[in-house]
């Protein structure tokens, strides 16, 4: 499940999605980009989308600046199934 939420820039997380505008693509769902890195630089928040070695986007914000992100609900911790007792077939 996903949620579109309003957060301050200093609370943005890796794997959140940020709206980058429609650009050349007219379909609005393609305008959301995954944040791959969050940095604090000279008192500003730098959000990076994509791979630094290839094409990527950079978004600069004041730490208390409000923005909308899409955030996926964190997966609940999955407990491993209990170990099964091995039934022994044989003579004692």
Q: Give pLDDT, residue 51.
A: 74
Q: Give pLDDT, residue 84.
A: 67
Q: What would the CATH number be for the domain defined by 2-72? A: 2.30.30.30
Q: Give pLDDT, residue 3.
A: 83
Q: Is the pTM of this model over 0.75?
A: no
Q: Give pLDDT, residue 32.
A: 84
20-38: b or e for each residue (b if 16 or more CB lie within 10 Å)? eeeeeeeeeeeebbebeeb
What is the chain's pLDDT, residue by residue, as a tens digit (92 residues)?
A: 678 899 999 999 999 999 876 655 565 556 788 999 999 999 999 999 987 677 788 899 999 999 999 998 876 656 666 666 666 666 65
């Amino acid at each position: 499940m996903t949620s579109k939420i309003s957060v301050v820039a200093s609370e943005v997380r890796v794997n959140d999605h940020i709206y980058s505008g429609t650009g050349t693509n007219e379909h609005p769902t393609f305008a959301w980009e995954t944040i791959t890195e969050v940095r604090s630089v000279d008192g500003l928040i730098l959000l990076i989308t994509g791979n630094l070695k290839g094409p990527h986007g950079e978004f600069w914000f004041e730490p208390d600046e409000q923005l909308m992100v899409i955030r996926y609900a964190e997966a609940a911790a999955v407990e491993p199934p209990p170990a099964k007792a091995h039934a022994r077939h044989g003579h004692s």
